């Protein structure tokens, strides 16, 4: 029989006056009864703190100097009393039964340290918003190493985290300015923590803003992403656990990064391709979103020509539709 644990719902906030009330309300409205809601204001300069204060004794909160998202998450970790943690960025929100459903699932997977689910992504453009479930498409049983390499483990709010597991790996890395949950996922996997998949989405990630660190500095984001892929490869190789499937996943992920990096730094992109080939001289592109024409050109003439022709095609389409 499941012993119902306390879940701490933890909200770091920095300049999110438009959203933070929604985030807090969604935490308070969780149908799971054994919970606490804690908010740390990370030195906001807008009206966020005044909004947080309006929730009075319904939540616990504190404020301080701006030290960054992971510092705020670590302070929330310190303040929490729950056995399980639900992190929620201040511009996102939860469906009412998100925590309850994942805790019920815990009855089936008592050894879990991270319960991860698909995330609902909410987009907005021209005064219109819409949602799409970001499904985890790899068929079960999932290999979390492959999911991490392919960047398919979900955004922070979609997971439920065992507090002890995060404490064991030293908390959030306060020097990690982007790809933060992925870096934490990596250290949890290296510490042999157990990841369990629950297929019902319950967290909504608002992909509205272009002002996040990851979106403002794409070169730093890709550097961090590739760094994590390198660490996955090195760690698995050191333990003789780098199967061909895992190596393929790492190289496919590198290739996808290289295609995007080529748009602003072709030299760097080619270095990535060289690394892929050094690891697997017979590397084949496996991506249903890449055309057969591209794959044929890549095989015959290499990455640079394939990308140049792809860019030329995109430019021609843009010109054509502008004329129409």
pLDDT tens per residue across span 222-269: 999 999 999 999 999 999 999 999 999 999 999 999 999 999 999 999
pLDDT tens across 39-87, in order?
A: 999 999 999 999 999 999 999 999 999 999 999 999 999 999 999 999 9
Q: Are 123 and 207 a contacting pair, CB within 8 Å?
A: yes
Scored b (16 or more CB within 10 A) or e, 65-102 reads eeebbbbbbbbbbebbebebbbbbbbbbbbbeebbbbb
What is the reported pLDDT for 1? 47
Check whether 211 has a pLDDT greater than 70.
Answer: no
pTM: 0.94
Q: Which residues pair with 94 in a beta bridge?
A: 203
Instruction: pLDDT band for 157, please (50, 70, 90 cuts).
Output: very high
Instruction: pLDDT band for 149, please (50, 70, 90 cuts).
Output: very high
What is the reported pLDDT for 215? 55
* Mean pLDDT of the chain, nearest integer: 94
Cα separation, 151 vs 86, whole angstroms: 20
Smallest CA-to-CA distance from 9 within 1, 29, 242 is with 29
Q: Are 143 and 150 a contacting pair, CB within 8 Å?
A: no
What is the reported pLDDT for 217? 75
**Residue 257, both tokens:** 């990064």
What is the reported pLDDT for 137? 82
Cα separation, 224 vs 277, whole angstroms: 21
Check whether 18 has a pLDDT greater than 90.
Answer: yes
**Residue 4, both tokens:** 């119902």
Cα separation, 259 vs 314, whole angstroms: 14
**Residue 69, both tokens:** 């998202």
Higher pLDDT, 217 or 44: 44
CA distances from 280 to 60, 188, 284, 288, 306 (A): 52, 27, 9, 20, 19
pLDDT tens across 300-324, in order?
A: 999 999 999 999 888 876 665 555 5
**Residue 191, both tokens:** 């510490």
Cα separation, 10 vs 72, whole angstroms: 10
Smallest CA-to-CA distance from 38 within 66, 13, 5 is with 13
Average pLDDT over residues 192-199: 97
Check whether 25 has a pLDDT greater than 90.
Answer: yes
Cα separation, 229 vs 252, whole angstroms: 11
Check whether 3 has a pLDDT greater than 90.
Answer: no
What is the reported pLDDT for 208? 76
Question: Residues of the chain with pLDDT > 90: what percent?
Answer: 87
Average pLDDT over residues 171-192: 97
Higher pLDDT, 2 or 285: 285
Check whether 121 has a pLDDT greater than 70.
Answer: yes
Check whether 182 has a pLDDT greater than 80.
Answer: yes
Give just the sign of the alpha carbon dihedral 226, 270, 286, 134.
Answer: positive
């Amino acid at each position: 029989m499941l012993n119902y644990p306390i879940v701490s719902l933890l909200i770091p906030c920095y300049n999110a006056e438009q959203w933070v009330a929604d985030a807090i309300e969604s935490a308070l409205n969780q149908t799971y009864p054994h919970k606490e809601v804690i908010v740390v204001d990370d030195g906001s300069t807008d009206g966020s703190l005044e909004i947080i204060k309006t929730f009075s004794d319904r939540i616990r909160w504190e404020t301080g100097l701006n030290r960054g998202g992971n510092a705020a998450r670590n302070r929330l970790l310190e303040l929490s009393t729950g056995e399980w943690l639900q992190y929620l960025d201040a511009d996102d929100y939860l469906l009412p039964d998100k925590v309850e459903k994942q805790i019920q699932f815990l009855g089936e997977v008592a050894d879990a340290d991270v319960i991860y689910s698909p995330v609902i992504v909410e987009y907005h453009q021209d005064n219109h918003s819409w949602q799409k479930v970001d499904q985890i498409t790899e068929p079960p049983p999932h290999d979390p190493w492959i999911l991490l390499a392919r960047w398919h483990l979900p955004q922070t709010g979609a997971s439920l985290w065992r507090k002890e597991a995060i404490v064991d790996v030293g908390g959030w890395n306060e020097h990690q300015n982007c790809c933060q949950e992925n870096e934490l996922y990596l250290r949890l996997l290296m510490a042999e923590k157990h990841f369990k998949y629950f297929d019902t989405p319950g967290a909504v990630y608002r992909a509205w803003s272009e002002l996040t660190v990851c979106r403002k500095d794409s070169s730093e984001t890709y550097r961090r992403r590739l760094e994590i892929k390198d660490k996955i490869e090195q760690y698995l190789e050191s333990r003789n656990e780098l199967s061909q499937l895992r190596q393929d996943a790492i190289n496919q992920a590198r290739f996808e990064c290289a295609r995007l990096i080529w748009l602003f730094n072709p030299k760097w992109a080619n270095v990535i391709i060289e690394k892929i080939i050094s690891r697997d001289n017979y590397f084949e592109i496996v991506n249903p979103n890449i055309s057969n024409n591209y794959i044929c050109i890549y095989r015959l003439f290499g990455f640079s020509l394939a990308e140049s022709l792809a860019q030329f095609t995109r430019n021609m389409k843009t010109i054509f539709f502008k004329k129409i």
